[in-house]
Amino acid sequence: MKADSWILRDLPKLLVDDWYKLLISTEFDVQVAAYHHLRKAYDRDRHLQWRIRAQPLLKVRGGEVKPDIVIYKGTILYDVIEIKCLLDGFSWTRIEQDLKKFRTLQTSEGLRHAYMLVVYDDDVVAGLQGRDKDPWMKNFLTFVGANVRRSATGRLRAHYASTRRRWTKYYR
Q: Are 80 and 105 in contact (CB under 8 A)?
A: yes
Give residue 61's domain range: 5-165
128 assigned to some structural domain: yes
Number of helices followed by number of strands (H, E) in the chain: 5, 7
Residue 6 pLDDT exceeds 90: no
Within a domain: 171:
no
Q: What is the CATH number of the domain that holds 61?
A: 3.40.1350
Asked if residue 55 has pLDDT above 90, the reply is: yes
Instruction: Say if residue 20's pLDDT is above 90.
Output: yes
Range with the lowest mean pLDDT among 23-37, 47-61, 93-107, 116-130? 116-130
Does some domain include residue 170?
no
Of the candidates 86, 160, 162, 169, the residue with the CA atom closest to the CA atom of residue 121: 86
Q: How far apart are CA 116 and CA 137, in angstroms?
A: 11
Question: What is the tally of structural domains in the chain?
Answer: 1
pTM of this structure: 0.87
Bridging pattern class, strands 69-73 and 63-65: unpaired
Kindly state whether residue 91 falls inside one of the protein's structural domains: yes
pLDDT at 141: 84
Task: Name which of 67-76, 84-93, 155-164 the model is least confident about.
Answer: 84-93
> Beta-strand (E) ranges in 88-140?
113-120
Distance (Å, whole) CA 62 – CA 138: 23
- Length, in residues, of the chain: 172
Compute the distance between CA of residue 31 and CA of residue 8 in angstroms, rounded to an integer.
16
Q: What is the mean pLDDT of the chain?
A: 84
Q: What is the pLDDT of residue 149?
A: 92
Q: Is residue 9 part of a domain?
A: yes
Confidence of residue 96 (pLDDT cuts 50, 70, 90): confident
User: What distance in Å separates the CA atoms of residue 69 and residue 144, rounded to the nearest whole number?
Assistant: 14
CB-based contact 111:1 (threshold 8 Å): no
Q: Is residue 172 part of a domain?
A: no
In a domain, 83, yes or no: yes
Q: Is residue 112 part of a domain?
A: yes
* Whole-number percent of the chain with pLDDT over 90: 35
The answer to whether residues 10 and 42 touch, using CB atoms and an 8 Å cutoff, is: no
Residue 73's closest CA among 99, 53, 44? 53
For residues 87-94, average pLDDT: 80
